[in-house]
Structure 1
Amino acid sequence: MTSKQMFFIVGRGRSGTSLLQTILNQHPHIAVAPEAQFVMLLYRKYRRRKFDEKVILNFYQDLFLEARLKNWKIDKTLLKKELLAIDKPDFSKLTHCVYAHYGHQRGKIKPLILGDKNPHYALFVKDLIQIFPKAKFIHLIRDARDNVLSYRNVSFDMKSTTALAYRWNFYHKEILKVSEQYNAQFTRLYFEQLIESPEKELRRICRFLGVGYNPGMLQFYQSVEWDTPWRRNLYKPLDRNLPQNWRQKMSQEDIGAVECVCGKLLSKFSYSVSLSNVTPINYYFIKIFGFFCAGIYTCLEKVIYYFPIRFVAWFLIGYRKLTGTWITEEKSTAGVHA
């Protein structure tokens, strides 16, 4: 696999995406960049542009409107030179160059495999394939009941059980629509199987990416780079008690609500489902209320990128500060340059 190829970790948030990112980053040939949404931020403005030096410099300036790039510890002078040196530049090559810069700054070894972890990009998989036609995708899946339970313990996203269940549905359906068309470029990874059989699943993922397995990946907790309250589990070895927390910690009413909304997709993903907790009256209320709330939220996540990029950047900063997901500085052990 050449460094020109990319892979993306997609799925609903709170499904182990940060865990998988941290594990894969222990591999000497793999660099999965910290979460930043610069690709979609710049896509509408630059996807059809013809890139001369002036446009490349505009791209470079707009790039840092995504405030989370501060966490990448980019050498700005070097990145500018790398962007200007691209032969026959286009949007795909420029965005790839940004990912490659991150990998090289981390001291990764060639051939370099470049990855991206952004749960929100589950809503833009079709666009990502337009940008990177040969990209590979790891579709990460977690039981909807555990996923909803996890979201209710953090400060971001929604608090309604039914709305969170619909959000799980929407995200995975967006991925499935594209993965069924580009099946060879996708692989599914179940959170529960990653926890239960980590070496087996990581060997499979490495084969999918075209790189040899490295046992050091399972020592991920010794070099965590993100010090945030919602990622505390990254500081310790894999906990086999994480799957099926919902059986002990979720009420029967909430279990029924999630299964009512997600039952078909849960079954498709081979999870057991029992709808005995849902009455006919509750069923219709759950469907209407949850669909309305989650639909508006998810639609906003998609359409926001059609607005001018400075407005989008301002909106993202405000949202992250409001919800407590604003990360001003990452604890880095990679030895990269500021």
Structure 2
Amino acid sequence: MTACFGQPIFIVGAPRSGTTLLQYMLRSHPNISLPTGESHFFIPLYSNRHTFGDLSQKENIRRVLEAMYHQSSEFLDTDLHGLCFDIDSLADEFQHQGRDTIPAIIAGLYEKNAAGEGKNRWGDKTPYYVLHMPTILEMFPDAQFIHLIRDGRDVLLSLFGRCHDFGVYNSYYGARYWEQYVATGQHLGRQLAPDQYLEVRYEDLLAFPERTVRHILNFLGEPFDPAVIHFRKAGEAGKTPLVQRDLQPKNIAKWRQRLKPWQLWLFEGAVGSLLYSNGYPLATKARPLPLPVRLLGRLHNNWKRRWRKN
């Protein structure tokens, strides 16, 4: 049907945890193709797979591709560097190849993109897929996941910088947001085989890049290549600044200077045990927050979200 491609790779984790940096690093490997954006359509398409009818029919494949484009047009137009997303030609090709399931159609797109880049393996970086790893594995049973974890207090600072995008307006809500991704990912990851799931700390990637990259590539079964450390930088002004320059080892623990004491008290009081269990020393006694404080944190964040929408 098609050329043989290696196991798909998924970079996942809490938003603002360095997943874009790792994406740009791994896509610089001579064997690995990773689009430069986030897909977001895997779960919606698969969840609604029964609505597309018989996918041996070209018109129904076309409907899948149209739904994909409706969901993620910018990604499909600008972040696939090995192909041009043309619905008609792709529908013809995928029908001819016998791609009659949603996973087969998605794989066909990524494999064609990888082939266009001269690569023999494809991957995807969409952070929230960490919450859906069992579904991704149902779609792609041989998938491998790299769960990137960053100090939640630095994640909080980054979320504050884009508060309107992520809807995080206070430290308590930011703590719970970070916890949802990290704790869920670790819980699901413990149920996977060692060759399917790997946790990597963002801080280790910056402080010990060669050792960490070797560890990642060994997990993936790929040879070490220094191009991953000296990765191809992003030329687009809108991309994360860290993917436009070399690795920045000092881009850690910024929370020590920038978070106020009461913000630290809220964050560590909410998720101190999760921080500590992931190797991040605490700056407070991290006592559990009183119920009124937790309620106020949720109410404040919900009010800010509604105010923003209006």
Same fold (TM > 0.5): yes
Match of 1:87 in 2: 98
Q: 1:241 to 1:142 in 2, by over 3 A?
A: same
Whether contact under 8 Å (1:47, 1:91) holds in the other structure is no
Answer yes or no: is 1:132 the counterpart of 2:140. Answer: yes
1:38 maps to 41
Select between 232-241 and 266-275 the one with higher mean Cα deviation: 266-275
After superposition, the C-alpha distances for 1:212-248 in whole angstroms (9 at most, x for unaligned) are 111012222x53154316x112111111111111111
Partner of 2:225: 214
Q: Could you say if the C-alpha distance between residues 244 and 113 of structure 1 is closer, same or farther in structure 2, counting changes exceeding 3 Å? A: same
Aligned to 1:27: 29
1:57 pairs with 62, 66, 76, which one?
62
Amino acid across the alignment from 2:29: H
| Bigger mean CA deviation after superposition, 65-74 or 183-192 | 65-74
| C-alpha separation in 1, matches of 2:126 and 2:114 | 17
Q: Would the aligned equivalents of 2:99 and 2:105 in 1 still touch at CA under 8 Å? A: no
Alpha-carbon deviation of 1:57? 2.2
> In 2, are the aligned partners of 1:79 and 1:101 still within 8 Å (CA)?
no
Q: Is the 8 A contact 1:27 1:217 kept in 2?
A: yes
Q: Matches of residues 257-272 of structure 1 in structure 2 within 5 Å?
A: 257-272=266-281
Q: Give the deviation of 1:253 after TM superposition.
A: 1.0
Return the letter of the residue paired with 1:284.
L
- Kindly indicate whether the alpha-carbon contact (under 8 Å) linking 1:82 and 1:97 is maintained by their aligned counterparts in 2: no
Distance 1:226 1:43 in 2: 31
Alpha carbons of structure 1 residues 96 and 295: separation in structure 2 relative to 1, 3 Å: farther
- Amino acid aligned to 1:285: P
Q: 2:191 aligns with which of 181, 197, 201?
A: 181
Per the normalisation by structure 2, the TM-score is 0.85
Q: Note if 1:284 corresponds to 2:291.
A: yes
Structure 1 position 190 matched with structure 2 position 221: no
Structure 1 residue 286, shift from structure 2 partner: 3.6
Larger RCO (CA within 8 A; separation ≥ 6): 1
Describe the superposition over 1:69-119 as per-residue Cα deviations: whole angstroms up to 9, x where unpaired: 2223542154333311233622211111111122223x233xx22111111
Provide the rounded CA distance (Å) in 1 between the counterparts of 2:235 and 2:114. Answer: 14
How many angstroms does 1:43 deviate by? 1.6
Of residues 10, 13, 17, the one that matches 2:12 is: 10
Any gaps of 5 or more consecutive residues in structure 1? 298-318, 323-338
Counterpart in 2 of 1:123?
131
The 2-side partners of 1:225 and 1:81 are apart by 33
Q: Matched residues in 2 for 1:295 and 1:181: separation? A: 33
Residues in 1 aligned to 2:17 and 2:303: alpha-carbon distance in whole angstroms: 22
Per-residue deviation at 1:272?
A: 1.2
The 1-side partners of 2:130 and 2:65 are apart by 25
Letter in 1 for 2:73: A
Which residue of 165, 173, 177 maps to 1:163?
Answer: 173
If the length of structure 1 is used for normalisation, what is the TM-score?
Answer: 0.78
**What SS does structure 2 have at the residue aligned with 1:156?**
helix
Distance change in 2, residues 1:238/1:88 (3 Å): closer
What is the aligned-residue identity percentage? Answer: 25
SS in structure 2 at match of 1:133: coil
Contact 2:149 2:202 in 1 (8 A): yes
> What is residue 256 of structure 2 aligned with on the other side?
247
Instruction: Please state if 1:150 is matched with 2:154.
Output: no
